[in-house]
Chain A
Amino acid sequence: MALLLRTLGRQGVCLSKPHYHVLYRHAAPMGTTAKEEMNKFWAKNSRLNRPMSPHITIYKWSIPMMMSITHRGTGVGLSGAISAFAMAALILPGNYTHYLDLIHSLSVGPFLIGLAKFGIAFPLSYHTYNGIRHLYWDIGKGFKIPEVYRTGYTVIGLSVVTSLALILM
């Protein structure tokens, strides 16, 4: 008997579908959007001058945490570098080869040149490989903790190797 009642009431059975209800045409879904709820939350926080709970100061740092913020940091950094380059292209007089020759003429030692190249290559490599790891998560794979660490170490290893390879190119 209970089984019969539950079968009838189960979602997906004709009678329980909303568009069969008489009142549907005159109704609008109730409730606020997530965005409105978030705004209400933050407005209340600032109004009551609530202190923020300690988080990064007390929580034990882990490899996944550090890799995540590094992904964000390299992303922001790379974006900033591209924007700076674009603005320089618009504002500075003279063309690219002119400024390149200027840098050449500074006769910086090979070590510093290598360091500068590493400074460009590593963020790019890391962000690319970790980006692929993110896409892997986006298709729903690799969420088990050992897998997270394994793919994480792979990303770090590949980034270092690729950066070194790029410097030597």
Chain B
Amino acid sequence: MAAIVRLSSVCRRGVKPLFYQSTLLVRPVVVFHKEQQPHPLTARIHSSPPLYAGSDSNAASLHWTAERVLSIALLALGPVAYFSPGPVIDYSLAAALTLHGHWGLGQVLTDYVHGDTKVKLASAGLFVLSTVTFAGLCYFNYNDVGICNAIALLWSK
């Protein structure tokens, strides 16, 4: 027999043994299995990872991507806030900072809090905290000097 070339290594795909039927993996169910359509990005924005996501949902990976996009946006806001401060930047910073913090603390929560009720309680508490934070920052932007000015005034001390 000539040298056997490992097609899997060439094609970078897993080799499935011939007689391994994927139907062995599935549970025959009477219910009709709906084909999953990919949802448009706008319909899938959550402020926290949904606890009810099914096993073939890509919500978690979309959340991951959104976290990185927000981080980059926040990085860009820094120099913009320095060079052209104003109400637009103030409110953008308020939103970006609060959401970045909310998602970051959400990850800390996921790492250290276990058990359904504890997770639910902690998530609720985090939601309240983030809402109050955003409300407070917006209040400050509207009724007081605003975030950019506040930092400038503080630093001029």
Hey, which bits of chain A sit against chain B, CB under 8 A? 1-3, 5-12, 16, 18, 21, 23-33, 35, 38-39, 42-43, 46, 72, 75-76, 78-79, 82-83, 85-90, 95-97, 100, 103-104, 113, 117, 128, 131-132, 134-135, 138, 166, 169
CB distance from B157 to the nearest CB of A (A): 6
Q: B90-122: which residues lie under 8 A (CB-CB) from chain A? A: 97-98, 101, 104-105, 108, 114-116
B133 near A82: Cβ-Cβ < 8 Å: yes
Query: Which residues on the A side are within 8 Å of B27 (C-beta)?
Result: 27-28, 30
* A11→B55 contact, CB < 8 A: no
Interface of A is mostly: helix
Known contacts A10-B8, A135-B68, A89 near B140 by CB under 8 Å = yes
Q: Are A10 and B16 interface neighbours, CB within 8 A? A: yes
Query: Given known contacts A9-B19, A12-B13, is B56 in contact with A89 (CB within 8 Å)?
Result: no
Are the C-beta atoms of B133 and A87 separated by less than 8 Å?
Answer: yes
* Contact among A10, A29, A95, A131 for B7, CB-based, below 8 A: A10
Considering the chains assembled together, what is the distance between the CA atoms of A28 and B54 in angstroms?
12
Min CB gap A143→B, angstroms: 17
Contacts A33-B55, A90-B136, A96-B140 known; A8 to B18 CB distance under 8 Å?
yes
- CB pair B132–A128 under 8 Å, yes or no, is no
Sort A-B residue pairs by CB-CB distance and give the 9 closest, nearest first: A86-B136, A9-B18, A27-B26, A79-B101, A42-B114, A89-B140, A11-B16, A86-B133, A83-B133
